[in-house]
Amino acid sequence: MGKLRVTTATLGLPGFFRFLIPNSLVKDMDNVSPEKKDVKGCPRDSGYDSLSNKLSVLDKLLHTHPVWLQLGLNDAEAVEILQTQPPGIFLVRKSARLQKKVISLRLPGECGSCLKEFAIKESTYTFSLEGSGISFADLFRLIAFYCISRDVLPFTLKLPHAIAAAKTEAELEEIAQLGL
């Protein structure tokens, strides 16, 4: 099987999915006959195999934190990066103004400002968004939750396309090495 090669050029392409399917997995559909009903030769998936091969949102966040966790970015750099991204894309950084971590979230164009900050409240053992009653054991779990539920956010967080489309830890590691 050929090694997946992710470059900055392929990350933004809408057809990125095709780079994730090894040629060895693509079947020759011309040789499939509709008359052949025998499925005994086909391997069956009990469902557990699919689950063990599927990466969770938390897995994707853990492997790619060099992309979205940018504590050294200032306000202007966050705006510059996020203004070219679709709504929902985010960065976690430390706000000089608030002196705490924030989620910098790309908003839709009709919202006026292109991004909004949501302060992260940290205590000794938990992380939460200010204004929310939900706490998490770590920053990764907080971000994973907000990728599937909005709670106090205007909408859920979105992973960059390349991260969302990745199917293996190796693909995620390659993306992480590219960073921003």
Q: How far apart are CA 117 and CA 82, in angstroms?
A: 12
Q: How confident is the model at residue 38 (pLDDT cuts 50, 70, 90)?
A: very low
Q: How far apart are CA 60 and CA 140, in angstroms?
A: 10
Q: How far apart are CA 180 and CA 72, in angstroms?
A: 12
Residue 20: name the closest of 33, 30, 42, 5 by CA: 5
Superfamily for the 57-178 domain: SH2 domain (3.30.505.10)
* Lookup: tokens for 28: 């020759």
Give the type of residue at 117: E
Q: What is the DSSP letter of 88?
A: T
> What is the reported pLDDT for 111?
76
> What is the reported pLDDT for 112?
74
Residue 147: name the closest of 92, 82, 96, 76 by CA: 92
Domain boundaries, the chain: 57-178
Which of the two residues, 48 and 36, has the higher pLDDT score?
48
> What is the reported pLDDT for 145?
99
Query: What value does the mean pLDDT of the chain take?
Result: 80
